[in-house]
Amino acid sequence: MTSVQMSATEEMVERFLDYASRGDMVRVSEMISYSSQLLNERGEQGWTALMLAARNGHFGLVKDLLSKGCNKDLVNKSGHTAYDIARFWGHKHIADLLVGGRDGKLHARLPSTGVIEHENYFSREYLSRMSDKRTDSEWLSAKQSSPETVFLLFHNLEPLVTSGPERMNNSQAKMKLCRLKRASVDGLLKRGDTVVVFLGVEKQECSSLSPVSKEEDGLIAWFALNVEENPSEISCTDSNSFFLKGPMPALLTLDEDEGGIIAQARSVLAWHSRYSFCPTCGGKTKVAEGGYKRTCLTEGCKSLLGIHSTCYPRVDPVVIMLVIHPDGEQCLLGRKKTFPSGMFSCLAGFIEPGETIENAVRREVMEESGVTVGSVQYVSCQPWPMPSSLMIGCISIAMSTDIKVDKNEIEEARWFTRQQAIDAVVKSNTAVFTMPPRQAIAHYLVKHWIGINSNL
């Protein structure tokens, strides 16, 4: 077998990168003084001395390399910068050093991926919320009376939809929200049990109408209505319209634009359905500020004395995390008894008061699986309107591998290899488990991990 002989230059580069990996500042500086070109030389996988120093937590060496003019924007063969690598391995002090001195803007790429921020289902903003108009009762009243305004109708939080001719990948009919006009909902707006929420106005680039419309200000407003009694008197031009039963998986049949609208509308309406009484004194409340506030009707109630006691829509922060095995080639997934047979998903749990995202990840993983987690990295988030949560997606690195499941939390937890995860995502016949639907952030987190090259 013929061995490949390295040139003198290649040997020098390899030795230089080895010193950088070890954090040997003296020898790295000596070699740079001999040849400054070594600063940005790359190894076989495209790694520079700065990347290796960032990978192994050598803060002093990273600082020294930067002072000597090392290019921190270079990427390795996986598209990762030194900043990405430092963030992935939990060296926050080095990541802060590497991101400092840029144009002052946040790093535009997700750490360790080199890709543009991912847009999850339920997160697309089709409407401009125009929160400054929520206190303008005259403007809101005028919009509710306008023949151009769009109204979405809910009955006990179930949206009125129509089934379109388009089909989803599983041959299930794609649903569309019924966009009603004032004449169709006039009677409902006068009913005492109707809750009305201002959602916003159509963004000009999204609007199907011309910028100069019949509206005086050119803004087409959207409102959501929820009624408890079946609105039998509703007049809808579409004979195929019906109320979409159950949140899951029904809400996942809407397209991306309408998924974002549903997330906003259903979350706020769900809050109204649970907070019709004052949490301070138990008295009745009234809707205010376009549906984004409830005010107590009891004179002298403490909730009327300051903003901290006033009732505003509630959002529950939830961490959802993919735990990666120390070998980098396995991930930890769990299943609840309520899951469909064979389905595994990421571990998740509510953030507690006074707790950081990172600590919530570590606590929840330990409670549910008995696995200890070290580095935690934020990836992406997703509104989840069931009833109103914000799923904060993270990837974390395990420091232990033994699993001890808390049966009160989950039924089972297992390590799955990268190939097993790939088989589940592509729905291979050889898959040993099934994934949550593609619209769920758990699906994206697994897919995101699969796409990360092991060159980290």
Cα first-last separation, the chain: 31
The one-digit pLDDT tens for each residue of the chain (456 residues) are 444 567 888 889 999 999 999 999 999 999 998 888 899 999 878 899 999 999 888 999 999 999 999 999 898 887 788 988 887 666 878 888 887 633 323 333 334 444 446 789 999 888 999 999 999 999 999 999 999 999 999 998 999 998 866 554 444 567 899 999 998 888 888 887 789 999 999 986 555 444 444 456 779 999 999 988 777 666 665 678 888 887 788 888 888 889 999 999 999 999 999 888 988 889 999 999 999 999 999 988 888 887 666 788 999 999 999 999 988 889 999 999 999 999 999 999 999 999 999 999 999 999 999 999 998 999 999 999 989 999 999 999 999 999 999 888 899 999 999 999 989 988 888 999 999 999 999 999 998 898 775 455
How far is the CA of 196 from the CAs of 125, 137, 267, 415, in angstroms?
20, 13, 13, 47
3-class SS at 174? strand
Please state, in angstroms and as integers, the Cα–Cα distance from residue 391 to each residue in 186, 318, 321, 361, 373, following that order: 36, 5, 10, 12, 19
Find all residues with CB under 8 Å of 202, minimum gap 6, and list them. 126, 127, 128, 209, 219, 220, 222
Predicted pLDDT of residue 308: 63
Give domain 316-451's CATH architecture. Answer: Alpha-Beta Complex (3.90)
Report the alpha-carbon distance of residue 90 to residue 107 in Å, rounded.
Answer: 16
> Would you say 207 and 133 are in contact if contact means Cβ atoms under 8 Å apart?
no
Which pLDDT score is estimated for 101?
Answer: 37
What pLDDT score was predicted for residue 232? Answer: 66
- Identify the CA nearest to 200 among candidates 128, 290, 291: 128
- Cβ neighbors of 405 (< 8 A, separation 6 or more) are 334, 368, 369, 370, 411, 412, 413
Per-residue pLDDT at 170: 47
pLDDT of residue 406: 84
Distance CA 422, CA 426 (A): 6
3-state secondary structure of 52: helix
pLDDT attached to residue 304: 86
Cα–Cα distance for residue pair 322/331, rounded to 1 Å: 7
Q: Which H or E run contains 419?
A: helix 418-425
Which of 83, 76, 108 is closest to 97 using CA atoms?
A: 83
Alpha-carbon torsion (285, 288, 294, 295), positive or negative: negative
Distance CA(203)–CA(213), nearest Å, equals: 13
So where are the chain's domains? 8-99, 127-274, 316-451
CA angle 346, 351, 353 (to 5 degrees): 170
Q: What is the pLDDT of residue 237?
A: 58
The angle that helices 418-425 and 441-451 make with each other, rounded to 10 degrees, is: 130
Within 8 A by CB and 6+ apart from 225, the residues are 151, 152, 153, 154, 185, 188, 189, 194, 195, 196, 197
For the segment(s) 127-274, the CATH number from 2.60.40, 3.40.50, 3.90.79, 3.20.20 is 3.90.79
Asked if residue 301 lies in contact with residue 287, where contact means CB atoms within 8 angstroms, the answer is no
Q: Do 8-99 and 127-274 come out as alike in CATH topology?
A: no
Topology of the domain covering 8-99: 1.25.40
